[in-house]
């Protein structure tokens, strides 16, 4: 596999990098990616179709994409490649033992090349599919080259983070930035849109509130302030209703975010004892939301692909049109309850199914957890120390937590879409999950700097 090494990489730091410097490199990675999202691709002048604008927004949240820029593909190729290779690795298809350093290196190199391959296929498909408008073969080839170079840059950014220069991974950081950007724009955007009646509307809620209070105090007109509670508008050139950021959206985002945060921090404790220290009892906490991020990414991305494939045919077929409406659900369409119920049930069903499959394939099942327990010489008090017995004991709680996780993730994603949560329900789940991960990582790094002796205890 010598040919796999023919790809740029970032070397590991010679020693442990101080927390302040890791935070600095994390900020550098964030800045580089933000610059990529505002750097347009040469040769692209076409704007996305109106019917696919919501699809583009969902893609920008899940994969950190920005239409027509160097970040047009975002982290999509890396995420998809990682998911495919992890499934292949855990199922034994690749024949790699990820506990061995050499096999882990091969897996990482294979991941990079697979991501580049997926990026190449996507870039060619976008050019040939006319997403960038009519372009000459030369310009089309140049667009593909630009997207491949951008993918290499993202791979290097992720390499930089994962090798220990930064904190966490570039993938999580980019997803976090994408969702945070959507929420920031919902609050502070000064962009102005015009509805079909020719009336101008400021997009951001804060600027809109400022204009509404000006009208209230200067002219005694309370109508603009009341209209900010719920802001459905039909924009020029569109037929469907668009909900601009409003007070209901803000309240829904804050409330749903708090509930997600509360559930994400809940734990289910499994009492165990250590075989080498008889008499010492403690608990191993399992997250109540056992697996949440990946199932909802799978769910949203699957529906997004289906919606994009069916959209060109929706204007000719009423059944397909209704399916597309179910997928790209208009916010707060409470007059069509069957539509909302179907949307909710689809999200919940798919999220539960993907959660179950991922737990079985990603080393999170009861058998996998029991194997880790026995390798650490841990066993449940009152039961013989046996991997099969442990797996039987853990089977019920882990299966229950898996189903609950899928149900919670699917429910909040669907409810977020229905209520018009800023950044979408899926984005809010990802934002809370990644924020908690970063908080835990930063706290851990601070503790290790304060007490260096803990590194040996934690296996560092």
Class of domain 248-460: mainly alpha
DSSP assignment letter at 273:
E
Q: What are phi and psi of 368, to 5 degrees?
A: -65, -40
Question: Same CATH fold, 248-460 and 1-189?
Answer: yes
Could you tell me the two tokens for 87? 């499934």
Residues 6+ positions from 400 with CB-CB distance below 8 Å: none
- If you count them, how many residues does the chain have? 460
**Per-residue pLDDT reduced to its tens digit, 291-343:** 767 788 888 888 877 877 777 777 777 888 778 778 776 567 677 788 888 88
Q: For tokens 């006319």, what's the residue?
A: 130
Could you tell me the two tokens for 457? 């205890």
Better pLDDT: 95 or 138 = 138
Check: CATH 3.40.50.300 for 1-189?
Answer: no
DSSP states along 204-245: SHHHHHHHHHHHHHHH---HHHHHTSS-EE-BTT--S-EE-S
Contact, 360 vs 87, CB < 8 A? no
Could you tell me the two tokens for 340? 């909302």
DSSP states along 371-383: HHHHHTTEE-TTS
Contact, 154 vs 173, CB < 8 A? no
Residue 31 has what pLDDT?
93
Contact, 311 vs 129, CB < 8 A? no
DSSP states along 57-112: HHHHHHH---TTBTTSSTTHHHHHHHHHHHHHHHTTSS---TTSHHHHHHHHHHHH
DSSP assignment letter at 27:
H
Contact, 59 vs 73, CB < 8 A? no
Parse the chain into domains and list their residue ranges: 1-189, 192-243, 248-460
**HSE-up (13 A, CA, CB side) for residue 403:** 5
Q: In whole angstroms, what is the distance from residue 273 CA to residue 199 CA?
A: 68
Q: In whole angstroms, what is the distance from residue 170 CA to residue 223 CA?
A: 45
Better pLDDT: 91 or 267 = 267
Q: Provide the 3-class DSSP secondary structure of residue 415.
A: helix
Q: Is 90 exposed, middle or buried (0-12, 13-18, 19+ CB in 10 A)?
A: middle
> What is the percent of the chain with per-residue pLDDT over 70, rounded to a whole number?
83
Distances (CA, A) of 98 to 6, 85, 90, 402: 21, 12, 9, 24
Query: How many Cβ atoms from other residues are within 10 Å of residue 457's Cβ?
Result: 8
Q: In whole angstroms, what is the distance from residue 372 CA to residue 356 CA?
A: 20
Contact, 142 vs 42, CB < 8 A? yes
pLDDT at 47 over 70: no
Contact, 43 vs 131, CB < 8 A? no
DSSP H or E segment with residue 201: strand 200-202
Lowest mean pLDDT among 47-51, 165-169, 280-284, 373-377: 47-51
* Maximum separation of any 2 CA atoms in the chain, in Å: 79
Q: Provide the 3-class DSSP secondary structure of residue 55.
A: helix
Q: In whole angstroms, what is the distance from residue 15 CA to residue 79 CA?
A: 29
Contact, 167 vs 438, CB < 8 A? yes
pLDDT at 430 over 70: yes
> What is the percent of the chain with per-residue pLDDT over 90, rounded to a whole number?
11
Residue 460 has what pLDDT?
45
Distances (CA, A) of 62 to 145, 251, 357: 23, 23, 20
Contact, 224 vs 215, CB < 8 A? yes
Q: In whole angstroms, what is the distance from residue 414 CA to residue 409 CA?
A: 9
Q: For tokens 């990820």, what's the residue?
A: 98
Lowest mean pLDDT among 42-56, 69-83, 90-104, 339-353: 42-56
Q: Select from 50, 46, 139 the least CA-distant residue to 147.
A: 139
pLDDT at 2 over 70: no
Contact, 365 vs 401, CB < 8 A? no
Lowest mean pLDDT among 64-73, 104-113, 243-252, 381-390: 381-390
C-alpha radius of gyration, the chain, whole number: 24
Q: How large is the average pLDDT for residues 431-446?
A: 85
């Amino acid at each position: 596999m010598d040919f796999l090494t023919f790809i740029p990489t970032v070397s590991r730091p010679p020693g442990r990098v101080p927390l302040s410097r890791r935070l600095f490199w994390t900020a550098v990675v964030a800045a580089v990616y933000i610059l990529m999202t505002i750097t347009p691709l040469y040769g692209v002048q076409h704007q996305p179709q109106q019917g696919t604008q919501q699809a583009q927004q969902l893609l920008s949240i899940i994969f950190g994409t920005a239409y027509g820029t160097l970040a047009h593909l975002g982290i999509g190729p890396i995420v998809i490649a990682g998911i495919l290779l992890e499934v292949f690795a855990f199922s034994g298809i690749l024949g790699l033992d990820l506990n061995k350093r050499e096999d882990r290196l091969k897996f990482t190199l294979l991941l990079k090349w697979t991501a580049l391959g997926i990026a190449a296929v996507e870039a060619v498909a976008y050019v040939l599919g006319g997403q960038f408008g009519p372009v000459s073969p030369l310009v089309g080839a140049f667009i593909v080259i630009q997207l491949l170079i951008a993918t290499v840059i993202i791979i290097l950014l992720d390499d930089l983070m994962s090798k220990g220069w930064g904190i966490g991974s570039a993938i999580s950081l980019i997803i976090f930035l994408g969702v945070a950007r959507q929420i920031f724009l919902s609050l502070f955007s000064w962009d102005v849109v015009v509805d079909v009646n020719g009336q101008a509307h400021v997009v951001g809620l804060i600027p809109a509130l400022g204009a509404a209070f000006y009208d209230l105090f200067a002219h005694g007109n309370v109508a603009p302030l009341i209209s900010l509670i719920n802001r459905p508008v039909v924009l020029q050139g569109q037929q469907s209703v668009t909900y601009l950021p409003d007070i209901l959206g803000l309240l829904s985002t804050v409330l749903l975010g708090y509930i997600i945060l509360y559930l994400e921090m809940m734990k289910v404790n499994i009492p165990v004892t250590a075989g080498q220290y008889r008499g010492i009892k403690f608990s191993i906490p399992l997250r109540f939301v056992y697996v949440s991020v990946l199932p909802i990414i799978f769910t949203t991305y699957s529906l997004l692909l289906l919606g994009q494939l069916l959209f060109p045919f929706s204007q000719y077929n009423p059944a397909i049109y209704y399916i597309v409406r179910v997928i790209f659900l208009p916010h707060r369409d409470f007059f069509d309850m069957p539509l909302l119920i179907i949307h909710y049930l689809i999200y919940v069903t798919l999220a539960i199914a993907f959660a179950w499959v991922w737990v079985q394939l990603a080393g999170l099942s009861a058998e996998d957890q029991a194997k880790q327990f026995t390798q650490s010489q841990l066993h449940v008090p009152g039961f013989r120390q046996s991997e099969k017995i442990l797996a039987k004991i853990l089977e019920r709680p882990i299966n229950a937590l898996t189903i609950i996780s899928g149900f919670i993730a699917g429910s909040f994603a669907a409810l977020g879409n229905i209520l018009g949560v800023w950044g979408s329900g899926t984005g809010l789940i990802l934002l809370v999950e990644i924020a908690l991960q970063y908080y835990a990582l930063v706290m851990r790094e601070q503790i290790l700097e304060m007490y260096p002796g803990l590194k040996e205890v934690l296996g560092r």
